[in-house]
Structure 1
Amino acid sequence: MSRTAAVEDTYLAIEEAARLLKVRGSQEKVRRILPAFEPFEGGIIFSATAGLGDAADLDLTIQVPRRIDDPYAHALANGFVPETDHPVASLLSDIKKHCTVNEYLIDVGVVGGFNKIYVHFPRDVQGVAKL
């Protein structure tokens, strides 16, 4: 299956899940984000945020492909997060200097769009003091 087909199949599954949950969001937000973070090496986790109307969302957790070394810079370059002088702009690179980062994950909402980036240490648990 081609990457384009994989993204389209994933998008169709997201659209169907959103319809079943009666979540009305901007499908264009998801359509922009999916190709930027494929291939989906670890799959996609679907979860629902409870609520009525705009409070409801279909959330997707996506493992960032290993080809993307800095997911914050990648999200910034693709227009998913605004440029800022806040310390959050250097947080991921600071963590990577001090800890072994096994993988990154992102959260995307059908309503909320690009939400967050996670640093994941599944094989090398970090202590709070080190972080």
Structure 2
Amino acid sequence: MSTTSEADEIYSAVTETAGRLGIAFSRDKVRPILSAYGDAFAHAMPLAFRMATGPRHAGDVDCRFITHPKDRNPYPLAVSKGLTPRTSHPVGALLPDIEERFPVDGFGIDFGVVSGFTKVYAGFAPKDLQKVSELVGTPAMPDSLAHNFDFFVRNGLDDKVAFVAVDYLHRTVNVYFNDVPAACFEADGIRRMLRDIGLPEPSERMLGIGSRAFGLYITLNWDSPAIERFCFGVTTTDLSSLPVPVEPQLEKFAESVPYGGADRKFVYGVAAAAEGEYYKLETHYKWNPGTVAFI
């Protein structure tokens, strides 16, 4: 399939999904992103859509994909094409700093069908997970990563970093952990970790999701020493098999995304934040077994 037809196919999926959900998406934001990264779509996997509950996420749907080739940082192109503004804030320097110091194995992109270009992921090979103790030395990294270093060590997470995601719209950073110790997903472990970082007591719903979680991530910013959000998720090909019911809003979203494969893959996540918990569902438009999952 040609590059143009691949981008047209994704645009058609965006249009169909937004229409079914009653979202007036921004063609002027979606089309330039698909055009800029058109050569990625012949190889991009997975391609996924995500929706989240809560007022911050209302009225938008995210689209995410892994870029190709893996050694091409997608951020400079986003700046040169005007998809995200050039900035002197450390958020603009973090990804080049990471690429210079660590063996990045691939990149991913998030964009909102309404909000536009949002986030870039830098991923590491599954057999070469990176260390928080080394990431804290990255010049543009928020000081909050170093401030919470003892938390990561206590919970066996120091050498488990699988991805770092830079959110240019909100000026935040996500640090993803894989091969997480089982104790982190036990009810007592979840309660203890949230208490240690000053977040509210988890709901029974959050504890239920944790019992089957595959990984976790935290959100940091440059304005606070605190961990802003704590999130984990579960994967499934059948939403009815999850340990908790899915919100009607997210069920409708899952039904609205077109898919041409046999078994659809979902990632259902929960995030703990100071203002309370919220939930998110990623549904794959295209995916291959063994490809990475984000939350």
Which TM-score tier does this pair reach, normalised by the shorter chain? Answer: 0.7 to 0.9
Map Cα deviations across residues 69-91 of structure 1 (whole Å, 9 max, x no partner). 22221110010111111122221
Partner of 1:65: helix, strand, or coil? coil
Q: What aligned pairs does 1:70-85 form with structure 2 within 5 A after superposition?
A: 70-85=73-88
> Which of the numbers 118, 122, 133 marks the counterpart of 1:119?
122
Query: Are the aligned partners of 2:70 and 2:105 in contact in 1 as well (CA < 8 Å)?
Result: no
TM-score (norm 2): 0.41
In 2: Cα distance, 1:66 partner to 1:129 partner: 29
* CA distance 1:17–1:68, change in 2 (3 Å): farther
| CA RMSD in angstroms, aligned pairs only | 1.9
In 1: Cα distance, 2:14 partner to 2:71 partner: 23
Higher relative CO (Cα under 8 Å, sequence separation at least 6) belongs to 1
> Which of the numbers 49, 53, 69 marks the counterpart of 2:52?
49
Map Cα deviations across residues 53-103 of structure 1 (whole Å, 9 max, x no partner). x82211101212217622221110010111111122221111112211011
Structure 1: runs of 5+ lacking an equivalent: none
1:62 aligns with 2:65: yes
Residue 27 of structure 1: how far off its partner (Å): 2.1
Q: What aligned pairs does 1:1-131 form with structure 2 within 5 A after superposition?
A: 1-38=1-38, 39-40=40-41, 41-50=44-53, 55-66=58-69, 69-123=72-126, 124-131=128-135
Query: Are the aligned partners of 1:46 and 1:58 in contact in 2 as well (CA < 8 Å)?
Result: yes
Structure 2: runs of 5+ lacking an equivalent: 136-295
Compare 36-45 and 61-70 and name the one that shifted more.
61-70
Query: Are the aligned partners of 1:44 and 1:61 in contact in 2 as well (CA < 8 Å)?
Result: yes
The letter of the residue matching 2:99 is K
Question: How many pairs does the alignment contain?
Answer: 130
In 2: Cα distance, 1:68 partner to 1:95 partner: 13
The letter of the residue matching 1:130 is E
* CA distance 1:122–1:57, change in 2 (3 Å): farther
* CA distance 1:6–1:67, change in 2 (3 Å): same
Identity of aligned residues (%): 38
Structure number with bigger Rg = 2
